[in-house]
Amino acid sequence: MLSKTAQVNNKLGFHLRAVSVIVQTALKYRATVTLAKDLRKRNGRSVFDLMLLEASPGTTLTIEVDGVDESEAMDAILKLFKSNFGED
C-alpha cells in the first residue's frame, strides 16, 4: 500500500467536476483508492463519498492506494492534484 499527502489548490476545492475527475481516474485502475481528511476515509471511486470530505482550497488530504497497479494509480491521482484537476 502507498500513502501520500496532497493539497487541494484549485479555486473551488472539491466541487463536482474536480471530484468526478478523481473518480474517473481511480476507475481506470484495479487498485483501491482512498482519500482521507481528519481521520475520515472515503472511497476514491465514489463521487458522493469524496464530496463528503468537504475539501476546500488549502486542505491537505491523505491518499492511500493499494493493489497491483498502485504505483501507476497514485502517480495519476497526484498528477491531478498538481494540475488543479485541469482547472485554472
Q: What is the 3-state secondary structure (H, E, C) of 2-23?
A: EEEEEECCCCCCCCHHHHHHHH
62 forms bridges with which residues in the sheet?
Answer: 5, 36
**Residue 3 grid coordinates:** 500513502
Query: What is the arithmetic mean of pLDDT over 53-80?
Result: 97
**Residue 61 grid coordinates:** 488530504
pTM for this prediction: 0.94
| CATH class as words, domain 2-86 | alpha beta
How many helices (H) does the chain have, and how many strands (E)?
A: 3, 4
57 neighbors 85 (Cβ within 8 angstroms): no
Tell me what pLDDT residue 20 has. Answer: 97
Please indicate whether residue 47 is annotated as part of the active site: no
- Catalytic residue, from 4, 6, 15, 76: name it: 15
3 forms bridges with which residues in the sheet?
Answer: 64
Mean pLDDT taken over the chain: 96
Residue 86: band (very low, low, confident or very high) from pLDDT cuts 50, 70, 90: confident
